[in-house]
């Protein structure tokens, strides 16, 4: 034990549970905040983890969770853009403000807010990698409310002196992955013909969930100014063409249970040799049966130079290895 206590909100979520494990392995006493008690099962057998039910919209429930905590990692969020703007704003803005107000009043020393590169919006005119100095232009509901959440956290930080760090991960991959980009790629692996018309020459950044957690722990131990923002992604984007071939190779290693899906992927690869046939097939099948790997905004590139400047190094840099980690163990031969 290192003697420090950390509270993680959204601890039962995709990134949250990985962060809880990383903190526990680093010697922290971890308070794992979940919205419902049925999330406790994720932490069964973890002696250094104390699960607790906390509603970030209910400040009185936050105070006991933060009493005596040294650090707060805020990963609780509503990520579904199909939800009403009001629900998104309550969870991602009001909830964040509640967390920061309570942390400050409880004497927490440092707090980290997990935002997203969705705050930048499409920035379609950007011809270079987007840095933290790029002005966010998010208009879609999720990215917009996460940006407002950043503002809420920083407002409280300036007023109270609570040291605050903001991270903006890009498309996150890993076991149990559910981010929009990765979810659609995963769905393609399970049931759809993979198509990619319009993606030639375009690339995208990515990051593994374990690297997001490691970056969060690393940054909380760094001596940087309060309010600093860090993009979190493998700095070198991968071309969609290369990602597509990696995808086919991963399916090829996955065993006989993926034979039909591999057949569809090979068909898709063949269609890419004939652009007209690709466009015709894509239009004929429609979104219900075909996943178009490229969507507007998926080909924006981001720079993680600021994070790398803190001596942090990504462990998961090979995209094929990252994709392979998403294959469920019970689906392998």
In a domain, 98, yes or no: yes
Residues 69, 189 share a domain: no
Residues 157 and 279 in one domain: no
Lowest-pLDDT range of 59-63, 178-182, 316-320, 325-329: 178-182
Structural domain includes residue 20: yes
In terms of residue numbers, what domain contains 42?
5-173+206-236+301-317
Question: Given this model, what pLDDT does residue 247 score?
Answer: 76
Q: What is the CATH number of the domain that holds 48?
A: 3.40.50.720
In three-state secondary structure terms, 71 is: strand
**Among all chains, which residue has been given the structure tokens 């680093």?**
26
Do 213 and 129 sit in the same domain of this protein?
yes
Query: How many Cα neighbours within 13 Å face the side chain of 181?
Result: 24
Cα–Cα dist 123/166, whole Å:
20
Residue 328, domain member (yes or no): no
Task: Report if residue 129 sits inside a domain.
Answer: yes
Question: Model confidence over 258-305: pLDDT tens digits?
Answer: 566 667 667 776 776 777 777 787 777 766 556 555 555 567 899 999
- Do residues 215 and 250 both lie within one domain? no
- The band of 191, judged by pLDDT with boundaries at 50, 70 and 90, is very low
pTM tops 0.75: yes
Helix axes 59-66, 95-105, angle to 10 degrees: 40
- What would the pLDDT profile of 100-113 be if each residue is shown by its tens digit? 999 999 999 999 99
Whether 283 maps to a domain, the answer reads yes
| Residues 122 and 194 reside in one and the same domain | no
Q: Are residues 168 and 280 in the same domain?
A: no
**Residue 332 maps to a domain:** no
Residue 95 lies inside a defined structural domain of this protein: yes
> Beta-carbon neighbour count of residue 330 at 10 Å?
6
108 and 214: one domain? yes
Is there a single domain that holds both residue 118 and residue 49?
yes
Q: For 92-140, where are the alpha helices, taking DSSP H only?
A: 95-105
Residue 126 and residue 218 share a domain: yes
pLDDT at position 148, please? 96
Percent of the chain at pLDDT > 70 equals: 79
* Whole-number pLDDT of residue 236: 92
Closest CA to 7 of 41, 37, 42, 34: 34
- How many domains are contained in the chain? 2
79 versus 303: the higher-pLDDT residue is 303
Check whether residue 15 and residue 155 sit in a common domain. yes
The band of 208, judged by pLDDT with boundaries at 50, 70 and 90, is very high
Residue 56 within a domain: yes
> Is 17 in the same domain as 134?
yes
**Statement to judge: residues 113 and 17 lie in one domain:** yes
């Amino acid at each position: 034990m290192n003697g420090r206590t950390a509270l993680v909100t959204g601890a039962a979520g995709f990134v949250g549970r990985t962060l809880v494990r990383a903190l526990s392995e680093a010697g922290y006493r971890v308070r794992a905040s979940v919205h419902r008690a049925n999330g406790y099962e994720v932490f069964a057998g973890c002696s250094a983890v104390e699960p607790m039910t906390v509603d970030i919209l209910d400040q009185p429930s936050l105070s006991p969770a933060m009493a005596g905590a040294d650090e707060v990692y805020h990963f609780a969020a509503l990520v579904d853009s199909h939800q009403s703007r009001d629900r998104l704003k309550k969870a991602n803005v009001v909830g964040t403000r509640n967390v920061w107000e309570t942390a400050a009043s409880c004497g927490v020393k440092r707090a980290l807010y997990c935002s997203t590169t969705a705050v930048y919006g499409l920035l379609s005119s950007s011809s270079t990698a987007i840095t933290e100095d790029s002005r966010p232009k998010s208009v879609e509901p999720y990215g917009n409310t996460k940006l407002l959440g950043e503002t809420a956290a920083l407002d409280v930080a300036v007023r109270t002196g609570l040291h605050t760090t903001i991270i903006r991960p890009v498309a996150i991959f890993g076991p149990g992955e559910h981010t929009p980009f990765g979810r659609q790629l995963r769905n393609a692996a399970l049931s759809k013909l993979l198509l990619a018309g319009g993606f030639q020459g375009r690339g995208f950044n990515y990051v593994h969930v374990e690297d997001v957690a490691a970056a969060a722990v690393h940054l909380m131990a760094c001596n940087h100014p309060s309010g600093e923002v860090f993009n979190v992604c493998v700095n070198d984007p991968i071309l969609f063409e290369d990602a597509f071939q990696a995808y086919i190779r991963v399916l090829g290693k996955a065993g006989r249970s993926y034979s039909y899906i591999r057949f569809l992927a090979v068909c898709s690869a063949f269609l890419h040799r004939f652009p007209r046939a690709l466009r015709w097939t894509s239009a004929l099948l429609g979104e219900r049966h075909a996943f178009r790997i490229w969507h507007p905004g998926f080909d924006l590139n981001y720079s993680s130079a600021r994070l790398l400047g803190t001596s942090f190094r990504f462990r998961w840099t090979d995209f094929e290895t990252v994709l392979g980690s998403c294959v469920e163990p019970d689906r392998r031969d």
